[in-house]
Structure formats: C-alpha cells, structure tokens
Amino acid sequence: MRSWSGRLIEISARVEGSFAALRMTHLLSAFALAACSSPRNVAGNLSEPTAATPLKTAFADAFVIGAAVNDRQVTGKDVRGAALITAQFNTVSPENALKWEWVHPSRGTYHFGPSDAFVDFGVKHNMTIIGHTLIWHSQVPRWVFEDANGKPLGRDALLAVMRDHIMTVVGRYKGRIKGWDVVNEALNEDGTMRQTPWFKGIGDDYVVKAFEYAHEADPSAELYYNDYSLENAPKRNGAVRLIQALQRAGVKVAAIGSQSHDKMDWPTVVQYDSTFNAFAALGVRVNITELDVDVLPPAVRGQGADVATRGAVSRASNPWPAALPDSMQRALARRYADLFRVFVAHRDVIDRVTFWGVGDGDSWLNNWPVPGRTSYPLLFDRQDRPKVALDSVLATAPAVRR
Ligand code: XIL
C-alpha cells in the first residue's frame, strides 16, 4: 500500500551507464580489501558462527546498539524477528512507521496504529526508542505543501503545517521516544542546502524552525540532524556549517546522525575518523543511524543513499540470487570489523550504532536502488541466523563478556 516508489516528491531517476565497468571496479575493490585487511579479527569458520554474546551486551561499555524495525516485527507477526531484536538490541528505530506519509497521510488525519505498536514494543522491552523522522522531502505527501486548490503554501501557512505535525507526533510520544531525527537529508553532496519543498516554501531557516517546534513539543527529547554521505568532505563541511548555524540560533543539537549506508570500499576508516573528529569539535554527539554494507555491484554512480535514485535491473547487478559466496561473506566480515574498530575507537563521542534492518531478507537494499535484488548487507541472514560478520563485529567489542 505504501510503496516508497509511489509517493516521492522528488522523483529523480538517475540510471547511470556502464554497469559492466562499475561491476569490475566494485569486484576489484572488494578483492583489494580482502587482500589488505588483517584476518586477526575475523572468525574463520563459516559453518560455525560463535555468536554467543548478544551485541547489546558486547558493546554495553561503548554505545547502545540497535536496529530499524518493521510492523511485522513489532506486532509479533514475525515471531522470529521479534525474538532476535529483543535478544540482540537495546535500541529501536521505526523503519517507516513515523514517516509523514504513514503517520499523517491526509490533512487532519493522523494514523498512529503502527507507530503506537512500535513505541509499545520499545517500552515493553525497555529499549531506547528513536523517532525517525519529522521533516524530510521523501515519504511526505504532496498535500503538505499545497492549499486546498493545489497552490503552493506560503511561508507562514507551511510553518503552521510543520508545527502542527511536530507538536502532534512528538507530543504523543513525549517521555517515551528518547530522541528524534528532526530533519533528514537537508544537504546536497557539495554541502549546500538541498532545494526541497521545505526549503523552497519556508526558506533556509526551516531547519531552525523544525528544531524549535520539536523542543517545544518535548523539551527533554534529544534532537538530531540526520544525513548520508557525511564522510565525504564537502558534505561533512556543509553539515558542520549547518550545525554551527543552528547553534548560533540557540538551537541545541544533541547529535548528528550518520546514516552510514556503506559500501565495501566507502567510506574509508580515515574518512570516518575525520568525520567523528569534526563533529566532536562542534560539541555534539554522533549516532550511526542506518548502518548496512552493500556487497552488490553498484548499480548507480556515487555513494549517496537518496531513496529516489533508481538503477536498471540486469543480471550483472544481481550476481548472487541464491547465496553469497564464502569469499564475499569473509570480505563482508572484514569490512564490518574495520567499521566497528573505528566506531569503538570513537566511543567517547558515539552514543549509538543502529543497523537499518535485522536480517538480510528485510533490508531495503533488496529493492534499492534496483528492485528485486538479493542483498546481503546485515549481520543476520534470511533465516535470521548469525553470519560470520557477526563474529567479526563481536571480536571488536571493548570487553566481550562471554
Ligand atoms: C527506507 C526504508 O527502509 C524503506 O522501507 C522505505 O521504502 C524507504 O525508506 N534513508 C533514510 C531511511 O533516512 O528512512 C530510508 O528508509 C533509507 C535511506
């Protein structure tokens, strides 16, 4: 019913050329990574994962660790998924339930069934509950920006719509949702402000306004700015400028969320280091908010995670429909170990690491940027069994209490 392909305000299909060349580059980088990484932290035996310690326990001294969860999991229809979430994670984010098109589909109509189920699940299991997301240009209905005659709303009218939404949604979960991704993806890759309907309708202080309303709705909630590709210097610098502007305006930004929809060869550990240092210097915390690692050949150019991006379906873009080869499982395990080593190294500034999904079967990367692929980006497989990457992540924990 709510397919994400259907309702995007900015549909900018960007099918890029030469898939063969991209695939070759991708495979070469994966093999280069496999050759360079130290095998020290990688469990060697693919058939016997030793995931004895829950992730949340292993990283208890570093950060909370979580997953984006879906309706089937929180309502208990997916019994196995729900059990895995409660066993492994101590924080949850809603994959879709709190996005505007779900929670506020038409003027004056709020639809709180799925988001209530999400929050109830988190409360019941004593988890840190995250709100995702209030102000974004995707998964937001057109009516939000238009009057009854379809004409674009002026600044004041659009601010009133924004305020009503934030006060209603944040207010409903006051005291239960610990922190909110107030604004998602306000920046272009070059660090300038993205020309979203929010920006066009309100002006560049729309971010300040969103944070002010969220603070008004729940003064105790942590407020976050969330985006992707922040590890690339131009966008990272744009985020630094944006946060500084918010701070000058008197807004308290608790943390910057790095979505971290990562590739096998991007971002580098050095890019992460620089990013965490730059954000720490602002006096804010950092959350890794949507972690996954795409092992499939890149189907589009670039490193972004714009949900409106589309690649073409081809056999080459979906090379492992049955199973991921062992060599790639090991490469993924090494990649995850490298990522967690840098997260652990920066645990003084990182509060949370959240995966964007639980088992591979539920990942959005099966349908983005190409629909119908078989993707392997997470620590648990399609049967929710631990992958070897789980062991390699656990091996990086500061004090694994086995
Ligand atoms: C994705 C969800 O996982 C999909 O189910 C949905 O169809 C589209 O959105 N950046 C974000 C997330 O901030 O909200 C997106 O989630 C993934 C990219």
- Please give the pLDDT value at position 27: 34
Does the active-site annotation cover 231? no
207 contacts 244 by C-beta, under 8 angstroms: no
Residues with CB under 6 A from ligand 1: 4, 95-96, 184, 259, 290, 305, 307, 364
Could you give the C-alpha distances from 127 to 99, 257, 279, 381, in angstroms and in order?
Answer: 20, 19, 26, 23
* Tens place of pLDDT per residue across the chain (402 aa): 333 333 333 323 333 333 333 333 333 333 333 333 333 334 444 434 445 899 999 999 999 999 999 999 999 999 999 999 999 999 999 999 999 999 999 999 999 999 999 999 999 999 999 999 999 999 999 999 999 999 999 999 999 999 999 999 999 999 999 999 999 999 999 999 999 999 999 999 999 999 999 999 999 999 999 999 999 999 999 999 999 999 999 999 999 999 999 999 999 999 999 999 999 999 999 999 999 999 999 888 888 999 998 888 788 899 999 999 999 999 999 999 999 999 999 999 999 999 999 999 999 999 999 999 999 999 999 999 999 999 999 999 986 544
- Which of the residues 185, 212, 222, 231 is marked catalytic? 185
- Please give the pLDDT value at position 3: 36
Burial degree of 109 (CB within 10 A; 0-12, 13-18, 19+): exposed
Which residue's C-alpha comes closest to atom 16 of ligand 1? 95
pLDDT tens, 7-45? 333 323 333 333 333 333 333 333 333 333 333 334 444
